[in-house]
A and B are shown apart, each in its own frame.
Chain A
């Protein structure tokens, strides 16, 4: 397909989005990620029945926690697409990158830098 998507994204492969836990998302922010998005199969099409639905709930909980602690819940997002839908994958990558650019860097990253300086 040779579709391009922003190089700022690091992909973490999982057997199913049902494996995603809140702590994985939080740790990413703790380590300085500006945003995290989970890309699961289309709703109703999970091979393990409800892995992607569980992932959405965990993403929502992570959003809530990040809002409470002042990092911003809008930095976490859940997308659903078919595994063969490459163009949409790239589309979501661009969308998420733009969203995060608008929000600016993760305040934790800035706090780390301040501490180091």
Chain B
């Protein structure tokens, strides 16, 4: 899932302080699971902002909505008939949702309520860590299911480097060396001989370095 963190309320207040009618829009997908922008967080933020503005003597109307997804036309369309009532939208979706909302409702200011962090997994309750950088050419089949692009600080394809000590990365004693994990798992899978195969230079053009990306699937297009 896409992992996000709540923005500080002060920053949000600064974005929306000059508007009189505000819609706070949550998203029922990733940001709900990582407890940053779901229905519950929308409620908390709306309540906090209402009290802030009331305490400041400002009259600000704040409405709440949580859409199934903010990265799909059909769900964003659900607010089309009432979007004109609002001076601004505060979207608690990931950066994708915020942008899609802004694209769709061109004349309404849209502000982000979360900081989108990465694609990751929930290691345990309250702990999320990065697992994928969307490089566009998955090599997990060759690396025992452990991604050196997202989990090695240097994104090495033929690791580990000299900074790997006792299974940990030199950038932090709390960070596992991805290549140590790969080696350990290859051994476990009885495929350690694959480690000896040198991986060729990766084509980074499918990664962000090649500019903004797009997937077009003619087979599923209408």
Which residues does A use to contact B, with CB under 8 Å?
Answer: 21-23, 26-27, 29-30, 65, 68-71, 107-108, 111-112, 114-115
- What A residues does B52 contact at CB under 8 A? 68-70
- Smallest Cβ distance from A104 to chain B, in angstroms? 13
Chain A facing B: main interface SS:
helix
9 tightest A-B CB contacts, nearest first? A69-B52, A26-B47, A111-B54, A23-B43, A68-B9, A107-B55, A65-B48, A70-B55, A23-B44
**A23 to B54 CA separation, bound complex (whole angstroms):** 17
**B185 at the A interface (CB under 8 A):** no
**A26 to B54 CA separation, bound complex (whole angstroms):** 14
**Total number of B residues with any Cβ neighbor in A under 8 Å:** 16
Q: Is the CB of B9 within 8 A of A112?
A: no
Q: A65-B48, A107-B55, A108-B51 are in contact. Are A23 and B40 (CB under 8 A)?
A: yes
Not counting A23-B40, A70-B55, a sample of 14 additional A-B residue pairs whose C-beta atoms are within 8 angstroms of each other reads A23-B44, A26-B47, A26-B48, A30-B50, A65-B9, A68-B10, A68-B52, A69-B9, A69-B48, A69-B51, A69-B55, A70-B52, A71-B55, A115-B54
- What A residues does B210 contact at CB under 8 A? none
A111: nearest chain-B partner, CB-CB: B54
Q: A65-B9, A69-B9 are in contact. Are A22 and B44 (CB under 8 A)?
A: yes
Q: List 10 A-B contacts (CB under 8 A).
A: A21-B40, A22-B44, A23-B43, A26-B48, A29-B51, A68-B9, A69-B55, A70-B55, A71-B51, A114-B57
- Smallest Cβ distance from B129 to chain A, in angstroms? 21
Chain B facing A: main interface SS:
helix
Q: Is the CB of A26 within 8 A of B10?
A: no
- What A residues does B50 contact at CB under 8 A? 30
**A70 to B49 CA separation, bound complex (whole angstroms):** 11
- What A residues does B9 contact at CB under 8 A? 65, 68-69
Q: A26-B51, A71-B51, A107-B55 are in contact. Are A65 and B44 (CB under 8 A)?
A: yes
- What B residues does A29 contact at CB under 8 A? 51
**A21 to B55 CA separation, bound complex (whole angstroms):** 23
**A56 to B201 CA separation, bound complex (whole angstroms):** 52
**A29 to B74 CA separation, bound complex (whole angstroms):** 37
- Smallest Cβ distance from A84 to chain B, in angstroms? 32
A70: nearest chain-B partner, CB-CB: B55
B9: nearest chain-A partner, CB-CB: A68
**A26 to B10 CA separation, bound complex (whole angstroms):** 17
